[in-house]
Amino acid sequence: MKDLLGMSREEFNNFMNSFDTVVTDCDGVLWMGMDEIPGAVKVMTKFKEMGKKIFYVTNNSTKTRVGFLDKFKKLGFNTNASEVICTSYLAAQYISDHADTNKKVYVIGSEGLAAELQTAGLKCFGIGPDPLGMDIGEFTSKFSIEQDVGAVVVGFDEHFSYPKMMKAASYLYNKSTVFVGTNTDEQFPLKKAGVVMPGTGALVRAVETCANRKAFVVGKPEAYLREVLMKEENITPSRTLMIGDRCNTDILLGKRCGFQTLMVLSGVTSLEEVHEWQQSKDPALTQLVPDFYSETLGLLHSKIQ
């Protein structure tokens, strides 16, 4: 693992010439909440000026690619929708490639997820509140399922409910129904002391359990993004740099994809943790060690010619 900021000019230039695609995580690398991490805009702009392809990766499934642009623009990033790789987009790609696209998609998720699926030409239903509203016996006896459902997707859904689980499990009873989970993050970062916001992973595990099937997960650290970027964007994995602040999602994703990996210290993982993993004999830990690290992304600006 090499410190980019400690590299000689020649070494650093070799590094810069070793990749022509940048895939970067957002929170903890580019910004914290609604604040830019200083210098991130300048470095991303520099990468673009140098002709490198840029992709912004997020496990967030609640918006469309276009829907995410607002925040990028507000913070000064010059970003196009085609550079945003959110899990709603990845889910739409996977379903388009693997399900019967004449059939409908049952969506546990947000309006943004449904809109991204629709952008890909898929028919969706299931969005919004779906409470029981009556006695469970009555509900079950009245319960009927739609025909022509080709896929079930589970993303973040604050209206998650027992009827939604029952519908998903029933559609998935037909083994030819494609089953996609956007990501398996267990929790969101704590916002208030002692308040835990369940992540999409809890919803995916619930549906997997009652459907007795495993979901195909499109988000980090699963490597499906590699397939999409190779097919749609013609990237070369060995000439791609993955930047992230969380080794167990971002760096692991990079490793699984055959990318070069750069950890920044402005987010979750600390250098001390990585030093511990380097000493470990457990391959699950040693594979989390990135190729490169930097205090922050912004600090690279002074080294870039």
Find the binder of a copy of itself among 76, 131, 189, 258 (CB under 8 A): 131
What are the backbone angles phi and psi of residue 14, rounded to the nearest 5°? -60, -45
How far is 177 from 163, CA to CA, in rounded Å? 18
3, 20, 27, 70: the active-site residue: 27
Q: Which helix (H) or strand (E) holds 279?
A: helix 271-279
Active site (annotated) includes residue 148:
no
Q: Which is nearer to a copy of itself, 26 or 207 (CB)?
A: 207
Q: Which is nearer to a copy of itself, 114 or 207 (CB)?
A: 207
Active site (annotated) includes residue 27:
yes
Binding residue per annotation — 220? Answer: yes
Q: Determine how β-strand 35-36 pairs with β-strand 31-32.
A: antiparallel
| Min separation Cβ 16 and a copy of itself, Å | 39
What are the backbone angles phi and psi of residue 122, rounded to the nearest 5°? -95, 145
Q: What's the DSSP call for residue 20?
A: S
Binding residue per annotation — 245? Answer: yes
Which residue stretch of 8-16, 92-100, 157-165, 257-265 sits at the interface with a copy of itself (rule: CB under 8 A)? 157-165
Provide long-range contacts, Cβ within 8 A and 24+ apart, for 230-236.
232/93, 233/21, 233/53, 233/55, 235/21, 235/53, 236/20, 236/21
One DSSP character per residue, 199-253 reads -HHHHHHHHHHHHTSPPEE-STTSTHHHHHHHHHH---GGGEEEEES-IIIIIHH
Q: Which is nearer to a copy of itself, 156 or 293 (CB)?
A: 156
* Pattern 172-201, a copy of itself, x by CB under 8 A: xxx-----------xx---xx-xxxxxx-x
Indicate whether 34 belongs to the interface with a copy of itself (CB under 8 A). Answer: no
- Residues numbered 85 to 114 that lie near a copy of itself (CB under 8 A) are none
Indicate whether 140 belongs to the interface with a copy of itself (CB under 8 A). Answer: yes
CA distances from 18 to 52, 235, 239, 292 (A): 11, 13, 6, 13
Inter-residue contact 114 to 140 (CB < 8 Å) = no
Inter-residue contact 69 to 198 (CB < 8 Å) = no
Indicate whether 280 belongs to the interface with a copy of itself (CB under 8 A). Answer: no
Q: Which is nearer to a copy of itself, 40 or 86 (CB)?
A: 86
Indicate whether 136 belongs to the interface with a copy of itself (CB under 8 A). Answer: yes
- Overall size of the chain counted in residues: 305
Q: How many residues bind a copy of itself (CB under 8 A)?
A: 42
Indicate whether 138 belongs to the interface with a copy of itself (CB under 8 A). Answer: no
How far is 238 from 244, CA to CA, in rounded Å? 17
Which residue stretch of 29-37, 168-176, 270-278, 281-289 sits at the interface with a copy of itself (rule: CB under 8 A)? 168-176
Which residue stretch of 16-24, 32-40, 208-216, 244-252 sits at the interface with a copy of itself (rule: CB under 8 A)? 208-216
Give the binding site for a copy of itself (CB under 8 A): 129, 131-132, 136, 139-140, 143, 145, 157-162, 165-166, 169-170, 172-174, 186-187, 191-192, 194-199, 201-203, 205-212
User: Active-site positions?
Assistant: 25, 27
